[in-house]
Structure 1
Amino acid sequence: MVSVAKVKVLDEYGELLITLGQLYAALKNGAKLEGHYMVFKGELVEEEVPEVEFCPSDEDIKFIVTSNEDPLSRICSETYKYFRDRCAACAIKVFSVLLNDWVINEDELLKIFEVSKKWDLKLEWRNGSIVLTRCEDSWSKALNIIRRAINELK
């Protein structure tokens, strides 16, 4: 018999209480998102996803303004560069603390994880957003890789 579990995955501020790897594995196995909780069958295991290994919040972050035609402007709530202008990041809002609910569905969230693995984009959870990060010789190269990956999310 397979057990069904309901686990709190977000605190009242929208911060993740489990790892991104656990969230990814649960979604791959059919978990459903319900407010601050996730309902799933089986046990909560972890699957590897590329995560940020340093905290860019200490860096000098410069926001990038994108045009309306840029796919980044349609998907990213914020786009910025940092780490001596070598890294670019795209924040995708996935949970609204105000609405107390997910703003994307399970399939869309799973697609973000799959695209990040395919394009080797590092992930970070911040304030209800998944931040996709890439570092290259220049932020423009990094941003172009993120842009190509984001095109797959449309």
Structure 2
Amino acid sequence: MGLVFVLRGVAVIFPLPFLLKQFRYCRANVLSHCYFLHQEVMKMACSDITVNYVYGCFLTVSMVGLDSLFIFLSYVMILKTVLKVASRTECLRALNTCVSHLCAVLLFYTPEIGLAVIHRFEEGSPPFLKVLLGYISLFVPPLMNPIVYSVKSKQLRVRIIRVFVK
């Protein structure tokens, strides 16, 4: 399964440098992110970027769409199995784990989708919003992932509530 995901990532990203190499660049060469973002580099080109624009939109929609479909199908299968086999306590425990997984997935996809939308339709958006969303999508998911999964721990949940209630 891991090999499939690695191959998918390579197959999706591999054509991007070749698509960008064919352009002539005449605009400012300052990027607003600390990492390579296809949408930003392609907007520096003076040539027609229609193919890159369509490919980028296709990738965003298909990747998020396929991932969402597979996540949905896996949760349907998990819930179907758990509800058939387990007791009420085990069902609640499984649902608690599913909620943590869904929160982690939302933490990953929400900034990514927001960044893709801002770069596609950026006419009225302030420049700092792209930078902020870029850093959020880069740093927040890995930082929040342990927190999302550890909040299930009763001792930690009680301590967090105690800190905010005081």
Q: TM-score scaled by structure 1? A: 0.28
Q: Which has the higher helix share?
A: 2
By relative contact order (CA 8 Å, sep 6+), the higher-ranking structure is 1
Q: TM-score scaled by structure 2? A: 0.26
